[in-house]
Structure 1
Amino acid sequence: MNNVKNVFSIKDLENLSGIKAHTIRIWEKRYNVLEPMRTDTNIRFYDLAGLQKLLNITLLHNHGYKISKISKLPIDKISVMVREIINEKSVKHHAINSFKMAMINFDQTLFFNTFNNLLSEKSFREVFYEIFIPLMNEIGLLWQSDTISPAHEHFISYLIKQKLLINTEKVQILEPTKTDKIFVLYLPENEIHELGLMYLNYEIILNGYKTIYLGESVPISSLKDIKRYFDSVVYVCYMTVEPLKENVNNYLKELQQEIIEGENSEMWAIGRITEFIKQEKHPNVKVFNSINELANNL
């Protein structure tokens, strides 16, 4: 069975390209830049070629080309021009679009080629901050709007995880240079969104610290074992959907009583759910608004 998504609504095109559906309709009517197909009830839909063409047109338009001029170009000329204008300013936009196309087509080769091209000019750290973080933010919105399926999200997430694991292994072979604290990284119970935590593990090791990576869905009871082996522990918890916002302060209260109260330890919390933390109630908890903010605190 072919699971590749190859039919898109005009709303899908809006979500994927950033061009409003109203503008797409105007471009079609005035300049014939796209040729939508129609359902029996006269509703527009588009194929992969149409999506790719719109993404290329968007890149040219963002670089100052008038839509009236672009509309007169043959499709192969548009592709050539896109390749010619890829530079430091547009590489982020182009790479994110390439990764989105790789995701929609379940195309591992396109993912790897795009990643390797980026890595030839950027560090892995730059690729993650400049490309992968914005990409995952966009993918979250695309999933919420039903433009992509959970299968698409899992596919691209797994490929990014592969790159994280490979690059983490490269820095893990180095002996830690800082011994004043140990970092224990984990996700709370029922939390499975691991990419951000995996990158933090890479960043902390890169900064010379020893880490203990526990991963997904770790109960508080499992954290107690760490206390038996190490002093001065920083527990890093990434809260994307768990614990629930109404439970997060009780969760931290229990954590403080069981794990960090009276100890030479602290908790660093990051993720969407942290906005519901009442920090005045949790003196041993530091809240960070972004991966970059946490990394700069190392």
Structure 2
Amino acid sequence: MSNYSIKDLEQLSGIKAHTLRIWEQRYKLLCPKRTETNIRYYDDADLKLILNVAMLNAHGIKISKIAAMSKTDISQEIIKLTDQSTDHNDQIQALTICMVEMDEERFEKVLSTNILKLGFEDTVLNIIYPFLSKIGILWQTGAINPAQEHFISNLIRQKLIVAIDGQVNGYSGKTFMLFLPEGELHELSLLFSSYLIKKHGHKVIYLGQSTPQEDLLSVYKLQKPDFLLTIITSAPAGDGVQEYVNWLSHEFSQSEIFVTGLQTLEQPVQIPTNIRLLTYAKEIKQVLLEMEQEIV
């Protein structure tokens, strides 16, 4: 069980801490506990409730009415709202609730419903990516625990792998080698890039997480890919980012290299001429469209 401050509740729900305190005092919606040193905190049940309440309130249901509803009634209203709504923010909030409750069945249903409505690609770009960005910030600030983050990441990873396996078109385009640097484990954006590249008719050599440099050299020598794509989210960090980028440029000088990720965007990195820095991972879609226009 996790403990949350009122600031954590604000970040997760989008409801200002001042408003939460008013709801707490006037409607008894929340019941904060206290540590041995008398510091107020909230538990998982409080967080689940306030996420649901915030979503219903955003859709025009008065807080006085919500406060009078049972937890079962609130849950049923949330399910009904999520199933009917096409608003991306509603779907992101629904996924957040599933993450907090670690409700795999509901998470699967929300994702599957959106994929049917929007298609897989738009679901990833407009719902999953913003959702992942939200939980990434919350994980860094300690508002959610690693178990919740891993739970959701693995479910999304499964969806991505299934979608990639469904791309059975013949490859008539270029060859891309996709990999993460050694020590880098954040794979979801790389998997989505693999999906997009295959969807556009190109071949993917997927090396995945934490690929040693010697393995990159070996595979490159055998396959001679036209393009390389890597994402540097957490490793390497600091001065190691520039060193790694320079090494890629030197060792794979005959290929164009696409690089993105938090570490390349948050610090000044000198980009060699044969490397293209993408400002966000999903920009690979624009790269693929540019290739198609050049062919035409």
Q: Given the two structures, how large is their TM-score scaled by the length of structure 2? A: 0.85
Worse overlay, 148-157 or 225-234? 225-234
Q: Deviations over 1:251-279 (max 9, x none)?
A: 2222222222xx2x111001112223544
Cα separation, 2, equivalents of 1:7 and 1:278: 38
Q: Which moved more, 1:132-141 or 1:45-54?
A: 45-54
- Cα distance in 1 for partners of 2:245, 2:92 equals 36
The residue matched to 1:162 in structure 2 has which SS?
A: helix
- Asked if 1:131 corresponds to 2:127, the answer is yes
In the alignment, does 2:208 pair up with 1:238? Answer: no
Q: Shift of residue 51 of structure 1?
A: 2.6
Q: Is the Cα contact below 8 Å between 1:248 and 1:277 reproduced in 2?
A: no
Q: Structure 1 pair 213/49, CA: closer, same or farther in 2 (3 Å)?
A: same
Contact between 2:258 and 2:276, CA under 8 Å: does it hold in 1? yes
Aligned counterpart in structure 1 of residue 18 of structure 2, from 22, 39, 57: 22
The superposition leaves residues 57-107 of structure 1 with CA deviations (integer Å, 9 ceiling, x where unpaired) of 2123223444345445555554454445444443x3333333333333333
What are the ranges of 5 or more consecutive residues in structure 2 without an aligned counterpart? 289-296
Letter in 2 for 1:28: E
User: Displacement of 1:134 after TM fit?
Assistant: 1.4
288-297 vs 208-217, which moves further: 288-297
Q: How does 1:171-250 map to 2 (within 5 A)?
A: 171=167, 173-178=168-173, 181-231=174-224, 233-250=226-243
User: When the two structures are aligned, how many residues end up with a matched partner?
Assistant: 286
CA contact (8 A) 1:220 1:255 kept: no
- Which segments of 5 or more consecutive residues in structure 1 lack a partner in the other structure? none
CA change 1:42–1:228 in 2 (3 A) is closer
* One-letter code aligned to 1:252: V
Structure 1 length-normalised TM? 0.84
- Greater mean deviation of Cα atoms: 50-59 or 7-16: 7-16
Distance 1:10 1:225, change over 3 A: same
- Which moves more between the two structures, 123-132 or 98-107? 98-107
Paired with 1:225 and 1:249, the residues of 2 have a C-alpha distance of: 22
Is the CA contact (8 Å cut-off) linking 2:226 and 2:256 kept in structure 1? yes
- 1:297 is paired with a residue whose SS is helix
How far apart, CA to CA, are the structure 2 residues paired with 1:129 and 1:228? 34
User: SS at 2:124's partner residue?
Assistant: helix
CA displacement, residues 168-192 of structure 1 (integer Å, 9 cap, x when unaligned): 1011x221132xx210000011111
Change (3 A) 1:277 1:210: farther
Of 109, 112, 126, which aligns to 1:113?
A: 109
Q: Quick check: 94-103 or 215-224, which moved more?
A: 94-103
Q: Which structure features the higher share of helix residues?
A: 2
Alpha carbons 1:191, 1:217 under 8 Å: kept:
yes
User: Partner of 1:297 in structure 2?
Assistant: 287
Q: 255, 266, 270: which is aligned to 2:248? A: 255
| RMSD between aligned residues | 2.5
* TM-aligned CA distance change 1:250 to 1:43, over 3 Å: closer
Moved more, 142-151 or 159-168: 142-151
Is 1:14–1:21's contact at 8 Å kept on the other side of the alignment?
yes
Measured in 1, the distance between the counterparts of 2:219 and 2:38 equals 62
Letter in 1 for 2:262: R
Q: Tell me which stretches of 4 or more aligned residues in structure 1 moved more than 6 Å.
A: none
Distance 1:211 1:238 in 2: 15
- The 1:163–1:35 alpha-carbon spacing in structure 2 relative to 1, beyond 3 Å, is same
Amino acid across the alignment from 1:151: A
SS of aligned partner of 1:214: strand
CA deviation digits over 1:153-179, x for unaligned, max 9? Answer: 2221111111111111011x221132x
- Conserved 8 A contact 2:178-2:207: yes
Identity %: 37
**Structure 1 residues 136-161: Cα deviation after superposition (integer angstroms, max 9, x where no partner):** 11111221122222222222111111
